[in-house]
Amino acid sequence: MSIESLWLALLVVSLLMAIMSGMPVMLAISGIPILIALCAAGFGHFDLSFFGAFPQRIFGIMDNTLLIAIPLFIMMGVLLERSNVAEKMLLIMARFFGNSPSGLAYSVLIVSTLIAASTGIIGATIVMLGLISLPAMLKSGLSQRLSAGLICASGTLGQIIPPSIVLILLGDQISNAYIEAQQNIGNFAPDPVSVGDLFAGAIIPGLLLVFLYAAYVFIHEKFLGTKTTISQGLAADKPKRVTLNEVCSVFLPPILLIISVLGAILAGVATPTEAAAVGVAGTLLIAAINSQEATVNLKRLVLCGVFSAFGLIVLVSFGFAKIDLSSISQTLTLGFVGAVMMSLILAAAIIFSAYRLFIAQVLSQSMRQTISVSGMVFAIIIAASMLSLVFRGFGGDELVAQLLEKLPGDKWGALLAVMLVIFLLGFILEFVEILFIVIPLVGPVILAMDFNPVWIAIMIALNLQTSFLTPPFGFALFYFRSVAPASLKTIDIYKSVIPFVCIQILAMGILVAYPALVTWLPELLNGNGY
């Protein structure tokens, strides 16, 4: 055993102690490596000039154009959260299903799928579902087990259903690791893995999960559930019929937004950052129209803005508006004038919505929260790059590679080991830390083993999601615990998610057996064969 591995062991142990002590994780994963490196340098076992590269790494994070999407998607999620769109959706869905218990369960699942597709902020989704739907679910006679488990599980869907922040960060890391891996085995022009590929790959597995959850609800209610008395209280207030108007005004905007954001990325038209900008613009409009102070005039303006946006899409995609400002002469056609008018209306609608939200103090609150969440995410990204610098300085990357190659069961053994490590780390760390610490270390080794990079990425995302759900340390359970009534015992919450953890594992098994579920769509869209 070399002296470096002793220092590495010391690093890992003290790191774990520091993280578990409850100090800010960002300080732990950046400060402890520095301390250990200084000690080692005192013995002449570490070359401090390694650190000279650190500022360049920070600058590299600061001008990574892919990451611009992160604060934008955070802003989008926070705004949607604050505009109570999800609440309204849930209430209408519940009425639509006539307040029947299993109907309520399905509506929780559908609404969280939509929310997951549009925001991907897990903590907030679970808190919201727990506050709004748990009382209703329990009142309607659904078993506690099913309700609690379903809320926790469907709240974590945001990680896997695109566009999700996890997949953007994962895409950044996987593509770096993949290029490094391919170069190591002599392929100097590998096809790059894009975030769009990951989004495309995640759609079918995400929907598969939703389907499996729904199947579980169905089976549970039909065969397992103790027959509940539906009458309690709810039958008395006969639900009002859901009008088409309500459905259109509450469901249509978020769905259109999801389609436009996702569609733009998947079709390969827009970069994630551009799509995120579209998402923020759309969310500003939705939030403004849903805010309590929305005046009739504002609503009209927003509607005009939305119609202009779709008019613009039609005009531009069918080539009616032949606009090319880069050419010198511009012929004044009807399409051109129309496009200019519509883009002005759209811009006005966005600006006035933002102004309204600013007056109503929604905007400044959302911005503060966006800034604080981005600060948290980027602090971890920067701190993790410090940790991996020191880890590599001690030769840790070679050690990990050797360990993985020594494992029995060729490439599957290595993959299983990596997945297990990620799963265990998921108990104590947030996904950002895991992605930025583990992937740079094991990614190049695993990806040199002839796995499809998109498939690996989706498996990692699923694995992280499962780990967040698994008792006793799953993050989702902590969030849920913070809003669940005291009458719901913690041990019951733990028991309630076990079926869902099994479903997750089943889903991962299905993806191992049928990798095409992941790889088919990206190949169809981009024609990439890895």
Residue list 189-228, contact with other proteins (CB under 8 A) = none
Report how far residue 229's alpha carbon sits from residue 142's, in angstroms, rounded to the nearest whole number: 9
- Under 8 Å between Cβ of 433 and 169: no
Residue list 261-290, contact with other proteins (CB under 8 A) = 269-270, 273-274, 276-278, 280-281
Choose which of 176, 183, 249, 374 interacts with other proteins (CB under 8 A): 374
Q: Interface with other proteins by CB under 8 A: which range of 25-33, 92-100, 173-181, 410-418? A: 25-33
Q: How far is the CB of 134 from other proteins (least distance, A)?
A: 15
Using CB under 8 A as the binding rule, whether residue 312 contacts other proteins is answered as yes
Residue list 74-103, contact with other proteins (CB under 8 A) = 74-75, 81
For 126, what's the count of Cα atoms within 13 Å in the CB-facing half-sphere? 27
Q: How far is the CB of 59 from other proteins (least distance, A)?
A: 7
Q: How far is the CB of 81 from other proteins (least distance, A)?
A: 8
Q: How far is the CB of 380 from other proteins (least distance, A)?
A: 7
> Coil, strand, or helix at residue 329?
coil
Using CB under 8 A as the binding rule, whether residue 42 contacts other proteins is answered as no
Using CB under 8 A as the binding rule, whether residue 30 contacts other proteins is answered as yes
Residue list 59-78, contact with other proteins (CB under 8 A) = 59, 61-63, 65, 67-68, 71-72, 74-75
> Coil, strand, or helix at residue 495?
helix
Q: How far is the CB of 32 from other proteins (least distance, A)?
A: 7
Using CB under 8 A as the binding rule, whether residue 24 contacts other proteins is answered as yes
Q: How far is the CB of 362 from other proteins (least distance, A)?
A: 14
In this structure, what are the phi and psi dihedrals at residue 329, rounded to the nearest 5 degrees? Answer: -100, 140
Residue 22 CA: distances (Å) to CA of 27, 349, 424? 11, 45, 18
- Under 8 Å between Cβ of 228 and 101: yes
Using CB under 8 A as the binding rule, whether residue 306 contacts other proteins is answered as no
Choose which of 8, 11, 15, 25 interacts with other proteins (CB under 8 A): 25
Residue list 328-357, contact with other proteins (CB under 8 A) = 339, 343, 346-347, 350
- Residue 42 or 529 having the CB closest to other proteins: 42
Residue list 390-429, contact with other proteins (CB under 8 A) = 428-429
Q: How far is the CB of 401 from other proteins (least distance, A)?
A: 28
Report how far residue 522's alpha carbon sits from residue 198's, in angstroms, rounded to the nearest whole number: 8
Tokens 């590679």 found at:
401
Q: How far is the CB of 377 from other proteins (least distance, A)?
A: 7
Exposed/middle/buried for residue 49 (C-beta within 10 Å: 0-12, 13-18, 19+): exposed
Report how far residue 86's alpha carbon sits from residue 228's, in angstroms, rounded to the nearest whole number: 27
Q: What angle do CA 497, 501, 502 make, to 5 degrees?
A: 120
Report how far residue 9's alpha carbon sits from residue 21's, in angstroms, rounded to the nearest whole number: 18
- Two tokens at 432? 């950002």
Report how far residue 210's alpha carbon sits from residue 78's, in angstroms, rounded to the nearest whole number: 23
3-state secondary structure 376-400: HHHHHHHHHHHHHHHHHHCCHHHHH
Q: How far is the CB of 471 from other proteins (least distance, A)?
A: 12
Exposed/middle/buried for residue 111 (C-beta within 10 Å: 0-12, 13-18, 19+): buried
Using CB under 8 A as the binding rule, whether residue 431 contacts other proteins is answered as yes
Using CB under 8 A as the binding rule, whether residue 165 contacts other proteins is answered as yes
Tokens 């103790």 found at:
226
# binding residues, other proteins (CB under 8 A): 90
Query: How far is C-alpha 426 from the chain's CA centre?
Result: 15
Choose which of 348, 367, 407, 498 interacts with other proteins (CB under 8 A): 367
Using CB under 8 A as the binding rule, whether residue 301 contacts other proteins is answered as no
Using CB under 8 A as the binding rule, whether residue 379 contacts other proteins is answered as yes
Using CB under 8 A as the binding rule, whether residue 20 contacts other proteins is answered as yes
Which of 124, 95, 94 has the alpha carbon at shortest distance from 109? 94
- Residue 249 or 365 having the CB closest to other proteins: 365
Task: Outline where 43-121 has alpha helix (H).
Answer: 54-62, 69-82, 85-96, 101-118
- Under 8 Å between Cβ of 4 and 395: yes
- Residue 81 or 221 having the CB closest to other proteins: 81
How many residues can be counted in the chain? 530
- Residue 107 or 343 having the CB closest to other proteins: 343
Choose which of 160, 167, 373, 415 interacts with other proteins (CB under 8 A): 373
Q: How far is the CB of 294 from other proteins (least distance, A)?
A: 20
Report how far residue 427's alpha carbon sits from residue 424's, in angstroms, rounded to the nearest whole number: 6
- Residue 242 or 379 having the CB closest to other proteins: 379
- Residue 212 or 278 having the CB closest to other proteins: 278
Residue list 132-151, contact with other proteins (CB under 8 A) = none
Q: Interface with other proteins by CB under 8 A: which range of 16-24, 138-146, 441-449, 508-516? A: 16-24
Using CB under 8 A as the binding rule, whether residue 23 contacts other proteins is answered as yes
